[in-house]
Amino acid sequence: MWLAAKSLQLKANSFPILINQPAMPQTITHISLYRLDVPLKEPFVISLGPIETVQNVVVSIHTTEGLTGWGECSPFATINGETADTCLVVGRLLAQALKGRDALDIGSSITAMDKTIWANSSIKSAFDMALHDIAAQAAGLPLYRFLGGEANKELFTDMTVSIGPAQKMAADALRFQQAGFTVVKVKLGGVPVEDVVRIKAIRAAVGPTFPLRIDANQGWPDVETALDVLQQLTPLNIQHCEEPIPRWQYQHLPRLSAASPIPIMADESCCGPHDAERLIGIQACPLLNVKLGKAGGLRKAAQIVQLAAGARMGMQVGGFMESRLGMTAAAHLALTSPFIRYCDFDTPLMFAADPVLEGIRYEAGGRVVVPGQPGLGAAPDPGFLQEVTKI
């Protein structure tokens, strides 16, 4: 059972200790924004709608000392209220606020961005990622070490089955199992009766013991409906369920979690550190899903990790539809706490083209290998960037 941490208070300076931060400033000279549109191999469908083409934004920050930091965001209109177009507009404002600042003073830069405009966590996460890339390069450390993490555990991603006809979903799950993935995540949140049929078909296809996770993406309208579905799915050996009810019903999560035979994971209801603090305070659920694009970047995501670890809550680090650029940053974060038990890094495998050089590497069984060179260890392919919109 997770613990309520009554003594946990979110403090402005409660960030991870940055190791070997050099004294020489890295003054920001210019910033570039790129619109990254990449088609998917096939449509990816969740309860909030289908996705056929990824529409991301890449940020590059350049300094007087010759360092370049890269960041990426994958805006999601139905979750964080942003699109690639809004990110490009807001990105101009953020670039103006950061130009001339010391890139190594990440806290000051985040404060400047938050004072410039409220919310817009997705585009802010791309700037935050690029700043961390520069700072880790300047310190001569891989990003996970710069964040205080260690390469002391293996990371394995799930592979996600998007929502659709039961037999198609079962076939996809079986295909992922046969490809060697050790766990499959299933998108639900449709008609409850049909969702139960979907999982039964998948379980029949992959066998009784193969690990399955489910994600309703707020698709079930209330606690009673969600609980009915979860109780019917109990015999089917489900690891956990993400965001079963609408995010604005977060105050009902304690009741649902207490009654549910399947552990509940907060996703859309847990965006930034203040959301995490609130959910921990009401003992909403035993698990949190941390995403850079929801939190506003690595700095605030690390705060969530600290809060959840202090409450001894399990976590998953995931993402939206980032390429290997953004997912590499997420993987670095996943190495910073033993309470991060699950990884959801599969979206780059859905891309019809890979626009990234270096970065995380996918191996057998869904194993994710994190780069060990200083900084993020990933950058966009220059040839790919020549073909996209640049500001």
Domain boundaries, the chain: 28-141, 145-380
pLDDT 10s digits, 261-311: 999 999 999 999 999 999 999 999 999 999 999 999 999 999 999 999 999
Task: With beta carbons less than 8 A apart as the criterion, state whether 295 and 286 touch.
Answer: no
Residue 23: what pLDDT? Answer: 54
Alpha-carbon span 302 to 187, nearest angstrom: 27
pLDDT 10s digits, 9-62: 444 344 444 444 455 899 999 999 999 999 999 999 999 999 999 999 999 999
pLDDT 10s digits, 328-377: 999 999 999 999 999 999 999 999 999 999 999 999 999 999 999 999 99
Long-range pairs, 113-120, Cβ under 8 A, ≥24: 117/90, 117/93, 119/80, 119/81, 120/82, 120/86, 120/87, 120/90
Q: Has domain 28-141 been given CATH number 3.40.5.50?
A: no
Residue 13: what pLDDT? Answer: 41
Residue 93 exposed, middle or buried by CB count within 10 Å (0-12, 13-18, 19+): middle
pLDDT 10s digits, 143-161: 999 999 999 999 999 999 9
For the entire predicted model, the pTM comes to 0.95
Residue 43: what pLDDT? Answer: 96
Whether 325 shows a pLDDT value over 50: the answer reads yes
pLDDT 10s digits, 108-140: 999 999 999 999 999 999 999 999 999 999 999
Q: Which DSSP letter does residue 33 get?
A: E
Q: Which DSSP letter does residue 337 get?
A: -
Closest by alpha carbon to 164, among 51, 245, 78, 44? 44
What's the half-sphere exposure (Cβ side, CA atoms, 13 Å) at 287? 23
Q: Which residues are annotated as a binding site for Mg(2+)?
A: 215, 242, 267
Q: Which tokens in the block code for residue 256?
A: 């649902």
% residues pLDDT > 90 (the chain): 92
Residue 280: what pLDDT? Answer: 98
Residue 174: what pLDDT? Answer: 98
Q: Which residues are annotated as a binding site?
A: 215, 242, 267
Q: Which tokens in the block code for residue 246?
A: 């609408």
Distance of CA 288 to the CA centre of its chain: 11
Which residues are identified as catalytic? 187, 291
Architecture of domain 145-380: Alpha-Beta Barrel (3.20)
Residue 18: what pLDDT? Answer: 47
Residue 217: other Cβ atoms inside 10 A? 21
What's the half-sphere exposure (Cβ side, CA atoms, 13 Å) at 292? 31
